[in-house]
Structure 1
């Protein structure tokens, strides 16, 4: 069963248990999906208001992109749990090549989650600028959740880098994590400023 097929209560019960997964990376991805859903909702509510066809077309495209981001983040939650389980299995074998491959994967998955969350934040800039005023605060909450999920994903990446021996891979992943965090924070500032107008 995927996390998307579980109720929220079941997912949280699994998180708050003695199991190894779902852990931080999966929870961050689900949080990002919630942020995307809120921004998507604002697009839907705004499309019912008086606007030009060009503006409506732009919001439809953004809404469709947010749907894709929401679904991808839920998939990444499952991929993160699988990656964490694979790290445990690799350490049990003691095979260094398996450990390194699993460690790299356990960093790549949350990095992709951070990238998708950044895309949500970029869309939130437009949604908060053009959304119907009564719903824009929900898009601001979505942007806040997306940034928190991005930062949590980046934190997971950084925590996993200690397992990777290849310094060039560590440097590349670390640099990308830093860039994502800085760009995400700037996007959030714009989204919140739009919402406060």
Structure 2
């Protein structure tokens, strides 16, 4: 069964099992799913209310985006586990001869790149979610302030968790140029994410006074 088709209890048990996958990368992607789910909820609590007539089109557009991103991140929950399994399969290739060793090295490098790219996509999607929250906090239904705050936390957790997984895979790469490119993007995504999260948290805490 695909991870995205499991109920919450089943997914939790699967993560808790002795199998190393699904692990942190899949959980990070699911954190992003939850962030966008909360964004969608706030949009629905804002749409159709006369008090927020001026932002109806903006909220509808954001709702469409949130629903699309939810589906994308749900797919990444499964893809992250598949990426890990590809690395494990490459590690299991024979290495008796020099030819086998070369083939194994190439397969492992390609699998590791794939395993790094998947959480990198998760991180990018979570950053997009964070970037939408300051405006939602200003214009969305203020009764859902705490929900928007939790959305920010989910996006931040998904972003940071995904970056951990990019970095641990980058360590195993032989290509220094690819490794450096991945780590440079991680640094940029983390910096942008930290700034956006601080902005969101400031708005939430101010509103909760």
Structure 2 length normalisation: TM-score?
Answer: 0.90
- Structure 1 outlier segments of 4+, above 3 Å: 51-54
Count of aligned residue pairs for this structure pair:
197
Verify the 8 A CA contact 1:33 1:70 in the aligned structure 2: yes
Unaligned runs of 5+ in 2: 95-103
Q: Which residue is 1:104 aligned to?
A: 113
Rg comparison, structure with higher value? 2
Q: Which residue is 2:49 aligned to?
A: 49
Verify the 8 A CA contact 1:125 1:188 in the aligned structure 2: no
How big is the shift at 1:89? 0.2
How big is the shift at 1:127? 1.4
Verify the 8 A CA contact 1:32 1:146 in the aligned structure 2: yes
Q: Which residue is 1:173 aligned to?
A: 182
SS in 2 for 1:165: coil
Structure 1 length normalisation: TM-score?
Answer: 0.96
How big is the shift at 1:26? 0.5
Verify the 8 A CA contact 2:46 2:52 in the aligned structure 1: no
The CA distance in 2 between the partners of 1:17 and 1:3, in whole Å, is 13
Per-residue CA shift, 1:88-146, capped at 9, x if unaligned? 00000151110000000110000010000001111112211111111121011111111
How big is the shift at 1:166? 0.5
Q: Which residue is 1:86 aligned to?
A: 86
How big is the shift at 1:54? 4.8
Per-residue CA shift, 1:50-69, capped at 9, x if unaligned? 24655100011111111111
The CA distance in 2 between the partners of 1:61 and 1:193, in whole Å, is 25
The CA distance in 2 between the partners of 1:150 and 1:158, in whole Å, is 12
Unaligned runs of 5+ in 1: none
Verify the 8 A CA contact 1:100 1:165 in the aligned structure 2: yes
Verify the 8 A CA contact 2:48 2:56 in the aligned structure 1: no
Q: State the superposition RMSD in angstroms.
A: 1.3
The CA distance in 1 between the partners of 2:81 and 2:75, in whole Å, is 10
Verify the 8 A CA contact 1:106 1:160 in the aligned structure 2: yes
Q: Which residue is 2:99 aligned to?
A: none
Q: Which residue is 1:62 aligned to?
A: 62
